[in-house]
Amino acid sequence: MNLTACLSLSAILFSFGIFGLMTRRKIIAMLLAIELMLNAALINCVAFAYYAPAGADTDVGSILPIFIVAITSAEMAVALAVIVAMYRKRKVIDIERLEDLHD
Amino acid sequence: MEATLTTDILFYLFSAAILGCGLMAVTVKNLLHSAIALMGCLFGTAGLFLLLDHEFVALMQILVYIGGVVIFIIYAVLLTTHLGTRYLPASTLKYISGVTLAAIVLGLVLHIDPQATHTAVNPDRTATTIDAIGYRLLDGSTNGFLIPFEVISVLLLSAMIGAATIAKHQKPGATNDEDETGGSAS
């Protein structure tokens, strides 16, 4: 276990997230992929704090994830509320059938 | 934690769990199953955080992500897709573009990663305590995080109010709905 292994893990997880974001057609599945990418970012934060050189401020490695998690929760709450409202109105969650949203 | 053979084995076990569940989460057809796979991925990440001496982040991961966000996603799946069974296949073009973009990003990041210089653990490092996190969050000096902390609380409150307002059930015909598709109140 070293820094490069942790960073490689998070890079692979991030690329899974991008793959999911590009290939999924349901909005909820795309949100799930975004969640994976944010998780990869969290792994980076913690890994950099753990392998920080002497004299570095390692508390930030625990504080930055608080902000990431809070913003993610806010984003998820609003996005899922929009999805539920949209489904109630149109019975569609496939993004390729929501093209008329920009009209 | 001391770098020993045990932590190495644990690290690779957690990594395998994270990557396996992560891949399942983006490929499985049933949306409910992929939400549960995401849960496994987040559990693995929490274990990794414990291994990296960040107990607070690991607890937050379990409480907020698994206990909150994933449950919320599962609720949204159940509310919108009839148990998530109807599968919508993506076009071949989207598959190709998804794989290409993911490979490009992965290649770039893996090209940069090995150039990280500080790869050894600082021998006299101390694990961050919850007390220290609390003091730093409420510290108003230039070293503290008081203002971001307050801003994030306002953001969370407004997001909650906004989500409740958006998802509130509207009476059919009571608002300015202009869609001529006739999809409302069915």
Summarize the confidence of residues B116-143 as an average pLDDT.
Answer: 78
Yes or no, beta carbons of A74 and B65 under 8 Å apart = no
Summarize the confidence of residues A6-19 as an average pLDDT.
Answer: 92
Write the CA distances from B100 to A25, A96, B93, B95, B132, integer angstroms. 18, 21, 11, 8, 43
Residue B161: per-residue pLDDT: 94
- The partner residues of A94 in beta bridges, in order of sequence, read A26
Interface check B161 vs A, CB under 8 A: no
Long-range contact set of residues B5-10: C-beta below 8 Å, sequence gap at least 24: B7/A1, B7/B51, B8/A1, B10/B47, B10/B51
Residue A68: per-residue pLDDT: 92
Residue B144: per-residue pLDDT: 84
Yes or no, beta carbons of B118 and A82 under 8 Å apart = no
Q: Which residues numbered 22-41 in A keep a CB inside 8 Å of some CB on B?
A: 22-26, 28-29, 31-33, 35-36, 39
Q: Pick A71 or A98 by higher pLDDT.
A: A71
Yes or no, beta carbons of A81 and B167 under 8 Å apart = yes
Of A13, A46, A91, the CB nearest to B18: A13
Which residues of chain B lie closer than 8 angstroms to A44, CB-CB?
Answer: none
Interface check A98 vs B, CB under 8 A: no
For B122, counting Cβ atoms within 10 Å of its Cβ (0-12 exposed, 13-18 middle, 19+ buried), the class is middle
Summarize the confidence of residues B83-96 as an average pLDDT.
Answer: 71
Residue A24: per-residue pLDDT: 85
Yes or no, beta carbons of B80 and A84 under 8 Å apart = yes
ipTM of the complex: 0.89
Cβ contacts from A onto B, under 8 A: 242
CA atoms within 13 A on the CB side of B163: 19
**A26 phi and psi angles, rounded to 5 deg:** -85, 140
What domains sit in chain A, N to C, each tagged with a CATH number?
A: 3-90 (1.10.287.3510)
Yes or no, beta carbons of A43 and B45 under 8 Å apart = yes
Q: How many residues does chain A have?
A: 103
Yes or no, beta carbons of B80 and A11 under 8 Å apart = no
For B9, counting Cβ atoms within 10 Å of its Cβ (0-12 exposed, 13-18 middle, 19+ buried), the class is exposed
Yes or no, beta carbons of A15 and B102 under 8 Å apart = yes
